[in-house]
């Protein structure tokens, strides 16, 4: 069985739908038995190993590399430095579009951040390459590192995130604040965070003339093809990328990373396959991260608890050589009704790698601070924080005035509160203790994430034996895409999922777009839905034009595909099988293409978001300040659920990340050298099982006829956005201390 062609038996389709069934992962057996092939598992004949030597300073210049010592080491084949790096077809510092990020490809001896590649060593073995890289022993002329949000002059950016305006306003914030009975202005800080998927970035590169074969984890096969093609001066079609499985991505694998390009360059220069895989500490630099933020939030509240003004001014950071700014303030555009909203930004340039999209970019950093501030506002008017949120529920998108395409947030509040046991919670903090004397607190956070959709293509085929084949260059990072997308495809073809072969994960298949923004199921799914519909339409055209078919003349009333048969829509007792139609027509197969894309008119008319509510219980040791999350209940409304088993997994994963954001995760930087001190998974803290003992994710039914024909919204990132704020609010409720800097630790509570 090929990794790219999974067809394991599943639940046979009855007269109903594959969509909505809690099927297990189609690739699950391959993964648990070790048969799934990830990029670094490939070893083509004659393969060499490449290791990147990285900078130990944040800013300055490399003035010496002991290249002779490295070359003399047994097994070393080549040492690539700025002095001898082969030419590229384009400058890696040039940008032809806003989503092209600059790379460090040994174009000069300058150092722009710690962990930047400064040389590449290629050897017959991994050990020899590693030892050769160590022997280079770089020497530097170092300059002072710029490491914090106050270490460099600020500038006013034009755009943030994915090209959003850096300033937005509705109403008059200043006048509404002045007229408010209660005013709140507080500053919150979130740290730098680094996406460290279990599978590090890597590549296995093989050249055959000007044709390039790559085993490489990527969230965007076609985008990777075009970026690599531009750097090497070849046609995108001459690059074949295999990426059937990814061990996580979180945004960091949406774009090729510099070290991967260096591995490809070495393979071309040496005429042999080359494998390069980053070590864990090398993930803290050239592959993106979430930038720190300092957010000043201003709220105006009337005497009866109605919000009159919401302001967020965010300071964030990018690198010294490129631009990506965390759009943290923008979550204020959508969450709560207010006659005045203003968001604005300032930025600094630091000696770090360029930040990138990281799991709920902007929403994660912005929601934890806004949800904390909303709780502070509720306390200022002595309202229950859930009642305060319900009072300020936005029936239309506040910043634009657009109606929501669908919004079931009130039901999320109701269901989550009921399951959690919110009723009877005291408003005052520090009133509850458990039997062990631990302080107990409860908090709530509102979850939101935009319902995004990109462009994708797919191909569907029905064979002479009545089975189906669907093909799409989609990406499965562990979210279960191969299962959910196969369910959509099977329904589109009117077949059971066990009757459909699903091919995915290679660049020679139709472009599925990028797996990001919680949009992959909607984007790729709609392409598969269209391709399936188109191939069924072709089959119906053949049958309804054939006088020998019981469907002859049914073109006006239409047909429907059910369980491998085409039936008259007005009389489902009349029809015939796919097999009969193709046999009589003398065809071996019928095939069609399909496209998935958002509807511009619907996008213009409606605000499209998924929503949710997360309820958290924490226990805090009053003497030691130790914090434990004891319960989490999240209720989410995210359109049509394709596979509830997989959706629950994604929602729980997002909630775990929310725990991480609130209590654990931060990159700690040495202010003198600019180096990250905890660049490993031992000291870069993330939750383990003991940190999340009881979690529950509830799915609220929601029909949305506007987001796309299937009504799909995304679920991958929304769980983060309510959870972190809920935990912060629960800590205040337990202790009476409002901590405005994340992650929250015991030292904050003992001050």
One domain for residues 373 and 234: no
Q: At what angle do helices 221-232 and 258-270 cross, to 10 degrees?
A: 50
Number of domains in the chain: 3
Q: DSSP for 344-390?
A: EEEEEEESSPPP---SSTTHHHHHHHHHHHHHHHHHHTT--HHHHHH
Return the pLDDT at 72. Answer: 98
pLDDT exceeds 60 at position 11:
no
Contact 578, 566 (CB under 8 A): yes
3-state helix, strand, coil in the chain (%, to 5): 30, 25, 45
Return the pLDDT at 555. Answer: 86
Last residue of a domain, one of 277, 300, 325: 277
Last residue of a domain, one of 597, 632, 649: 597
Q: What is the pLDDT of residues 349-379, one digit of tens each?
A: 999 999 999 999 999 999 999 999 999 999 9
Buried b (16+ CB within 10 A) or exposed e, 495-508: bbbbbbbbbbbbbe
Q: How far apart are CA 129 and CA 114, in angstroms?
A: 21
Q: pTM surpassing 0.85?
A: yes
Q: What is the pLDDT of residues 468-490, one digit of tens each?
A: 999 999 999 999 999 999 999 99
Q: How far apart are CA 120 and CA 262, in angstroms?
A: 8
Q: How far apart are CA 80 and CA 92, in angstroms?
A: 17
One domain for residues 23 and 104: no
**CA neighbor of 576 nearest in space, from 601, 550, 613, 594:** 550
One domain for residues 90 and 134: yes
**716 φ, ψ to 5°?**
-65, -35
Antiparallel, parallel or unpaired: β 565-568 and 340-350: unpaired
Is position 86 within any domain? yes
Is position 421 within any domain? yes
Last residue of a domain, one of 597, 612, 639: 597
Is position 546 within any domain? yes
Is position 169 within any domain? no
**552 φ, ψ to 5°?**
-55, 130
**CA neighbor of 655 nearest in space, from 461, 301, 416:** 416
Q: What is the pLDDT of residues 388-421, one digit of tens each?
A: 999 999 999 999 999 999 999 999 999 999 999 9
**399: Cα within 13 Å, side-chain hemisphere:** 18
Is position 586 within any domain? yes
One domain for residues 582 and 628: no
One domain for residues 119 and 264: yes
Q: What is the CATH number of the domain that holds 111?
A: 3.90.1170.50
Rounded mean pLDDT, 15-34: 89
SS3 567: strand
One domain for residues 708 and 745: yes
Encoded tokens for 43: 């070893």
Q: What is the pLDDT of residues 305-337, one digit of tens each?
A: 999 999 999 999 999 999 999 999 999 999 999
Q: How far apart are CA 550 and CA 408, in angstroms?
A: 45
SS3 689: helix
Q: What is the CATH number of the domain that holds 611?
A: 3.30.365.10
One domain for residues 256 and 124: yes
pLDDT exceeds 70 at position 2:
no
One domain for residues 423 and 378: yes
Rounded mean pLDDT, 189-214: 97
User: Across the beta sheet with 627-637, what order do the strands follow?
Assistant: 439-450, 609-620, 627-637, 695-699
- Rounded (10°) CA dihedral 120, 123, 127, 131: -50
Return the pLDDT at 12. Answer: 35
- Other Cβ atoms within 10 Å of 563 Cβ, number: 16
* 531 torsion bin: left (phi>0), alpha (psi -120 to 50), beta (else): alpha
- Provide the pLDDT confidence category of residue 659 given band limits of 50, 70 and 90: very high
Which residues make Cβ contacts (< 8 Å) with residue 568, sequence separation at least 6?
Answer: 551, 554, 557, 558, 559, 560, 574, 575
Q: How far apart are CA 619 and CA 730, in angstroms?
A: 9
Q: What is the pLDDT of residues 78-137, one digit of tens each?
A: 999 999 999 999 999 999 888 899 999 999 999 999 999 999 999 999 999 999 999 999
Encoded tokens for 241: 């990328």
Q: What is the pLDDT of residues 686-739, one digit of tens each?
A: 999 999 989 999 999 999 999 999 999 999 999 999 999 999 999 999 999 999
Q: At what angle do helices 520-544 and 481-493 cross, to 10 degrees?
A: 20
Is position 310 within any domain? no
Q: How far apart are CA 524 and CA 511, in angstroms?
A: 9
- Other Cβ atoms within 10 Å of 750 Cβ, number: 11
Rounded to the nearest angstrom, the gap between the alpha carbon of residue 2 and the centroid of all alpha carbons in its chain is 27
One domain for residues 540 and 477: yes
Rounded mean pLDDT, 152-161: 97
Q: At what angle do helices 520-544 and 578-585 cross, to 10 degrees?
A: 50
Q: DSSP for 230-271?
A: HHHTS-GGGEEEE-S--S--TTTTSS--HHHHHHHHHHHHHT
One domain for residues 697 and 576: no
Is position 567 within any domain? yes
Antiparallel, parallel or unpaired: β 211-215 and 239-242: parallel
CA angle 533, 534, 538 (to 5 degrees): 120
Q: How far apart are CA 507 and CA 235, in angstroms?
A: 13
Q: Which residues pair with 275 in a beta bridge?
A: 49, 204
Average pLDDT, the chain: 96
Is position 183 within any domain? no
Poorest-pLDDT segment among 4-18, 561-575, 597-611: 4-18
CA angle 228, 229, 232 (to 5 degrees): 85
One domain for residues 426 and 475: no
pLDDT exceeds 60 at position 13:
no
Encoded tokens for 3: 């990794």
Encoded tokens for 93: 């510092």
**126 φ, ψ to 5°?**
-65, -40
pLDDT exceeds 90 at position 15:
no
Return the pLDDT at 693. Answer: 85
pLDDT exceeds 80 at position 223:
yes
Cis previous bond, 743, omega within 30: yes
Q: Which residues pair with 208 in a beta bridge?
A: 211
Contact 676, 669 (CB under 8 A): yes
- Provide the pLDDT confidence category of residue 7 given band limits of 50, 70 and 90: very low
**213 φ, ψ to 5°?**
-115, 130
Range of the domain at 61: 40-143+201-277
One domain for residues 24 and 48: no
Q: How far apart are CA 132 and CA 136, in angstroms?
A: 7
Q: Tokens 């031992």 appear where?
A: 682
Which residues make Cβ contacts (< 8 Å) with residue 307, sequence separation at least 6?
Answer: 299, 300, 301, 336, 337, 338, 377, 392
């Amino acid at each position: 069985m090929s990794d790219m062609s999974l067809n394991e038996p599943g639940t046979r389709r009855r007269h109903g739908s594959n969509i909505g069934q809690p099927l297990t992962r189609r690739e699950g057996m391959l993964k648990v038995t070790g048969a799934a092939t990830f990029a670094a598992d490939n070893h083509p004949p004659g393969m060499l190993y490449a290791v990147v030597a990285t900078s130990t300073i944040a800013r300055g210049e490399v003035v010496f590399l002991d290249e002779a010592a490295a070359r003399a080491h047994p097994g070393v084949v080549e040492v690539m430095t700025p002095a001898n790096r082969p030419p590229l077809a384009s400058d890696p510092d040039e940008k032809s579009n806003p989503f092209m990020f600059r790379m460090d490809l040994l174009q000069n001896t300058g150092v722009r951040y710690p962990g930047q590649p400064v040389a590449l060593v290629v050897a017959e073995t991994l050990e020899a390459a590693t030892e050769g890289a160590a022997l280079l022993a770089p020497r530097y002329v170092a300059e002072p590192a710029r490491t914090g949000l106050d270490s460099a002059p600020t500038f006013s950016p034009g755009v943030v995130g994915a090209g959003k305006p850096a300033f937005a306003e509705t109403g008059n914030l200043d006048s509404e604040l002045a007229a408010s009975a209660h005013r709140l202005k507080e500053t919150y800080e979130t740290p730098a965070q680094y996406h460290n998927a279990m599978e590090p970035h890597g590549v296995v590169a093989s050249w055959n003339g000007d044709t390039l074969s790559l085993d490489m984890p990527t969230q965007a096969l076609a985008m990777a093809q075009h970026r690599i093609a531009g750097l090497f001066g070849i046609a995108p079609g001459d690059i074949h990328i295999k990426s059937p499985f990814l061990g996580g991505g979180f945004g960091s694998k949406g774009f090729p990373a510099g070290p991967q390009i260096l591995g490809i360059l070495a393979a071309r220069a040496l005429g042999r396959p080359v494998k390069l895989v980053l070590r864990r500490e090398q993930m803290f630099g050239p592959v993106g991260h979430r930038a720190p933020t300092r957010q000043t939030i201003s709220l105006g509240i009337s005497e009866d608890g109605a919000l009159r003004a919401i302001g967020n001014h965010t300071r964030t950071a990018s690198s010294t050589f490129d631009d990506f700014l965390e759009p943290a303030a923008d979550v204020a555009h959508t969450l709560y009704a207010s006659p005045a909203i203003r968001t604005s930004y300032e930025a600094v340039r630091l000696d770090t790698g360029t930040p990138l999209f990281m799991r709920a970019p902007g929403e994660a950093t912005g929601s934890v601070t806004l949800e904390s501030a909303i709780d502070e506002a509720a306390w200022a008017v002595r309202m229950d924080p859930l009642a305060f949120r319900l009072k300020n529920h936005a029936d239309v998108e506040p910043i634009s005035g657009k109606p929501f395409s669908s919004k079931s947030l009130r039901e999320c509040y109701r269901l989550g509160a009921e399951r959690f046991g919110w009723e009877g919670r005291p408003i005052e903090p520090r009133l509850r203790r458990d039997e062990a004397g631990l302080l107990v607190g409860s908090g709530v956070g509102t979850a939101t994430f935009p319902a995004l959709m990109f462009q994708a293509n797919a191909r569907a085929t029905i064979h002479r034996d009545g089975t189906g084949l669907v093909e799409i260059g989609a990406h499965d990072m562990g979210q279960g895409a191969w299962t959910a997308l196969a369910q959509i495809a099977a329904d589109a073809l009117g077949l059971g999922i066990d009757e459909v072969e699903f091919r995915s994960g290679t660049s020679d298949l139709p472009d599925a777009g990028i797996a990001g923004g919680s949009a992959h199921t909607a984007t790729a799914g709609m392409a598969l839905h269209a391709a399936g519909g188109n191939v069924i339409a072709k089959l119906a055209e053949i049958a309804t034009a054939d006088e020998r078919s019981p469907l002859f003349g049914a073109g006006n009333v239409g047909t429907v595909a059910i369980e491998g048969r085409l039936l008259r829509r007005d009389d489902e007792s009349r029809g015939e099988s796919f097999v009969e139609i193709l046999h009589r027509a003398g065809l071996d197969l019928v095939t069609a293409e399909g496209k998935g894309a958002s509807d511009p008119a619907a996008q213009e008319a409606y605000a499209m978001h998924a929503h949710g509510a997360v309820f958290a219980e924490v226990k805090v040791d009053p003497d030691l300040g130790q914090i434990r999350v004891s319960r989490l209940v999240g209720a989410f409304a995210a359109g049509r659920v394709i596979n509830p088993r997989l959706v629950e997994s994604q929602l729980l994963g997002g909630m775990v990340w929310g725990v991480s954001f609130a209590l654990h995760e931060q990159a700690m930087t040495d202010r003198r050298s600019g180096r990250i001190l905890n660049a490993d998974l031992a000291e870069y803290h993330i939750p383990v099982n003991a940190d999340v003992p009881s979690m529950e994710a509830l799915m609220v039914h929601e029909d949305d006829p506007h987001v796309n024909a299937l009504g799909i919204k995304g679920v991958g990132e929304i769980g983060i956005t309510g959870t972190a704020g809920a935990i912060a609010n629960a800590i205040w409720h337990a202790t009476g201390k409002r901590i405005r800097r994340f992650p929250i630790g015991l030292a904050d509570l003992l001050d």
